Chains A and B, each alone.
Chain A
Amino acid sequence: MNYPLKTRQIALFFIAFLPVVKMFTMPKSAAEACNEDMWISILLCLIIDYATILALIKINKTHQKPFYDILKDRFGTITAKTIFFVYFLFFMIKAFTPIFELRNFVQNSFYSTSLRTFPFVPFFILSVYFCTKKYSVLGRLSDLLWIMTVLGVSLILFLSIANADFGAIMPIFNNGLNIFKGSYFITPWFTDASYLLFMIGFFKHEEKTTLKLSLAFLAHGIIILLFSIVFYCSFTFVAKREFFPLSEIAKYSGVINAIGRFDYIAILIILISNTVSVALPLYFATKTLSMIIPIKNNVIIPIIINVSHLIIATFFERYQQFIIAIIHLNLSPVMLCLGNIAPFLLLFIKPKKADFTNNKALLKRSA
């Protein structure tokens, strides 16, 4: 049977797309909640995500079916579609913060004299195109872009690590319950296992699948932890007001002072991966809505989804902080339930006798 995704591609997907989206306001938000213990908050979220990913690998091994088919076989089409609608809303909400962040970053870093949303429109056009693509394209993108992420982040960290005062993360566990508050607030940036939830059944479980995905997730965790720690150790008491750490942490390097802002090369490299990364929730929102409303023309749903986000980004700009506050303060438990707890429930669904002859057709339809 031909699977649209390979284990290697999912592993590279973790490295290419999961860290970059967390390099904007996530570290600052964690620092705001629990100061020097911010990395523990991040670590907590990573551990929860990793546990969910392990559960999903197990589910993939036992069911060998896409998420939709598992639900349909056990609960029927209506329940499956209802659950998919809930996940559609989940991805639509998950898309808000990264889109706002990327737009603000592009506006403030590259278009500082013309703060308009329109220069950001091409992102949505690209996103529409990306959303029409199958899982195999996502796999190929992971194959290509992981190196961009690794190169960009390595250069940024190399330039900034010398100026970081690593004593700044001491003392450990001094912020008590605020550590959990931090994790609560930053949850919407994580819940990345939800992506894997929609990939189950589309990749074959092999002997080393668990090891490969675990190592890739570990690499992603190290990248984001190291970046966050270096960020906090570079800014310490003013970290809370640094909205764009990506463009800030490397600029104090002696090399940058002597040569100029060549760290922007690394930033641009990271932004290539980040464009796909930001579009990922919209991509998965498209996949879920396509299963609910099967339309032959595969462009209509991506247009609906992207245009709705474009309208919000353009016309509801002044509600940006309000929307982000609602998502991170009120909807975090919902995001945690759908992104991390709900996948665990699938462990309790026993697989029906595998109908592998039918699986090929299912995969083609779902992808």
Chain B
Amino acid sequence: MKFIKAKIFIVITFLIAGYFFSNDFGLIDIEKTAIVTACAIDKEDNEYKVTLQIALPSEGMGAEQNGKALLEGKGLTVADAIGKTGTVTGWYPSLSFCNLILVGESLLSDDLTACLDYFSRSIKIQDSAILACTENNASDILKKTSPLDNISGFSLQKIILKKTGMDGNVLKTDLKEFENNRFSRSLDSYMPFVCAVDAKHSDNSKPSDSGSSKESSNSGQTGGENEQKSFFNASKTKLFKKGVCIGELNESETSVAVLIKNNVYDTNLPVKNVLINGITANYSLRIIKSKFTLKINTSDDNVTVKISGKLFVKIADETSIDNNTSHEPLITLPDEVKIAAEKALTQDIIALTDKCKQLKFDLFDIDLNLYRFHSKKYNTKIKTLWDNVKFDINVSVYGQKEYKK
């Protein structure tokens, strides 16, 4: 009996092993799969037009063709349009490696949730994919070539996702963050606005470092000298309420918003027209460390938001002409520069808060903080929040102290 049991056990073990290991474990067939690296969504004739930028697996294909490998599909929903790209090409679009989602201008007047929900609900795409909106059609941006990288999606990622702390001019967001903000108490969200800037193409403009150099030279050979190439600018920010675009932050407002929302470092802070000893000069301060805190006070009738910022800087560059014979190092931070920097930053923050008040846009999560930490007063304060909110701005710039006799 035991022998029969052992036999049955062995047979079953082999059957299970055979069944389990003969499967491909759900691995994708690379020959039938389009590895999507970026996705652009537009709306045309009440239909969604999806353009997928794919990384072609063919080894022999030139970089230029690789960069232009775009699949297009139209459908009633985003999922439908993505499905159509597979129907047309025979390639199953795999979104697992899609790190960039671009939304065209045609979609900004509608609730973006309608088209982004597919990505945020699907587990087939990582919700850490960067999100940005574009001028005109998003697909046009993907079609452009850039001297930075043959694949426009990759060069856009370089612009939006800079080194941590150095991203002082792009208020970046990803799918998860956007959706989280969209469904937050204030229903306010934002994303960078990408514009293409024409670059006068020449061989000298190609970057010569890192892995891009080979691709760029390939691009030059196949694309020709007269090909129109573009850089991308993402230093403006679009603001959304309930998923609908309600306004825009300009470049300086975006920079200040980044400074307040993220702790940036290793970023330049320009200071204009500082008068020291009768000489007017421009300064460039290098931010070594920055920290902004927001405190909400509801003790009186108003809601007071105190924005306190501390920036530790050193002088990176200045334009004053040194008439002395000695070449002195730029170690100490003159009080005049410090005051000018504080004044300039305060003015920029005031401009930003004014815009937020004007648009009733909760960039600083005031609504959320009221709910979390002043919940008893929340219901009364929130109704008239934007009529009664006051901003108390206090920015301090620190550097090496100057010794004055």
Chain A residues with CB under 8 Å of chain B are: 108-114, 119, 121-122, 125, 167-168, 170-171, 174, 235-238, 241, 243-244, 251-252, 254, 257
A122 touching B26 by the CB < 8 A rule? no
- Docked Cα-Cα span, A128 to B179, in Å, equals 43
A251 touching B128 by the CB < 8 A rule? yes
CB of A344, distance to nearest CB on chain B (Å): 37
- Docked Cα-Cα span, A108 to B121, in Å, equals 13
CB of A130, distance to nearest CB on chain B (Å): 15
B26 touching A238 by the CB < 8 A rule? no
Residues of A within 8 A of B176 (CB): 235, 238, 252
- For residue A261, which residue of chain B has the nearest CB? B126
**Chain B 353-404 interface residues, beta-carbon cutoff 8 Å to A:** 369, 371-373, 375
Known: A112-B26, A119-B23. A238 touches B180 (CB 8 A): yes
B371 touching A171 by the CB < 8 A rule? yes
A237 touching B20 by the CB < 8 A rule? no
User: What secondary structure prevails in chain A residues at the interface with B?
Assistant: helix
- Docked Cα-Cα span, A168 to B185, in Å, equals 12
Residues of B within 8 A of A237 (CB): 179-181, 183-184
- Docked Cα-Cα span, A119 to B375, in Å, equals 49
Of the residues A110, A238, A243, contact of B120 by C-beta under 8 Å: A238
Query: Is B16 engaged at the interface, CB distance under 8 Å to the other chain?
Result: yes
CB of A42, distance to nearest CB on chain B (Å): 20
Residues of B within 8 A of A236 (CB): 180, 184
The total of chain B residues at the interface (CB under 8 A) is: 29
Query: Is B3 engaged at the interface, CB distance under 8 Å to the other chain?
Result: no
- For residue A168, which residue of chain B has the nearest CB? B372
Query: Is B12 engaged at the interface, CB distance under 8 Å to the other chain?
Result: yes
Residues of A within 8 A of B19 (CB): 121-122
Residues of B within 8 A of A171 (CB): 371-373, 375
Chain B residues with CB under 8 Å of chain A are: 12, 16, 19-20, 23-28, 92, 120-121, 123-124, 126, 128, 164, 176, 179-181, 183-184, 369, 371-373, 375
Known: A236-B180, A237-B184, A238-B180. A122 touches B16 (CB 8 A): yes
Known: A122-B20, A125-B12, A238-B183. A108 touches B120 (CB 8 A): no
Sample of 17 more A-B contacts, CB < 8 Å, known A111-B26, A113-B27, A167-B372: A108-B123, A109-B123, A112-B124, A113-B26, A113-B92, A125-B12, A167-B369, A170-B372, A235-B176, A237-B179, A237-B180, A238-B120, A238-B179, A241-B120, A251-B128, A252-B128, A254-B164
- For residue A108, which residue of chain B has the nearest CB? B123
- Docked Cα-Cα span, A110 to B176, in Å, equals 22
Please give me the 7 A-B residue pairs with the lowest Cβ-Cβ distance, nearest first.
A111-B26, A171-B375, A170-B372, A237-B183, A113-B26, A114-B26, A237-B180
CB of B113, distance to nearest CB on chain A (Å): 11
A110 touching B16 by the CB < 8 A rule? no
Residues of A within 8 A of B28 (CB): 113
CB of A124, distance to nearest CB on chain B (Å): 11
Known: A111-B26, A122-B16, A170-B373. A244 touches B179 (CB 8 A): no
B20 touching A110 by the CB < 8 A rule? no
- Docked Cα-Cα span, A171 to B374, in Å, equals 8
CB of B254, distance to nearest CB on chain A (Å): 23
A241 touching B180 by the CB < 8 A rule? no
- Docked Cα-Cα span, A167 to B92, in Å, equals 42
- Docked Cα-Cα span, A171 to B126, in Å, equals 30
Residues of B within 8 A of A119 (CB): 20, 23, 26
A111 touching B16 by the CB < 8 A rule? no
Residues of B within 8 A of A168 (CB): 372
Residues of B within 8 A of A170 (CB): 372-373, 375
CB of A264, distance to nearest CB on chain B (Å): 13
CB of B371, distance to nearest CB on chain A (Å): 7
CB of B5, distance to nearest CB on chain A (Å): 9
Residues of B within 8 A of A244 (CB): 123
- For residue B29, which residue of chain A has the nearest CB? A113
- For residue B374, which residue of chain A has the nearest CB? A171
Of the residues A110, A235, A251, A254, contact of B180 by C-beta under 8 Å: A235
Residues of B within 8 A of A174 (CB): 375
Known: A235-B180, A237-B183. A125 touches B16 (CB 8 A): yes
CB of B71, distance to nearest CB on chain A (Å): 18
- For residue A115, which residue of chain B has the nearest CB? B26
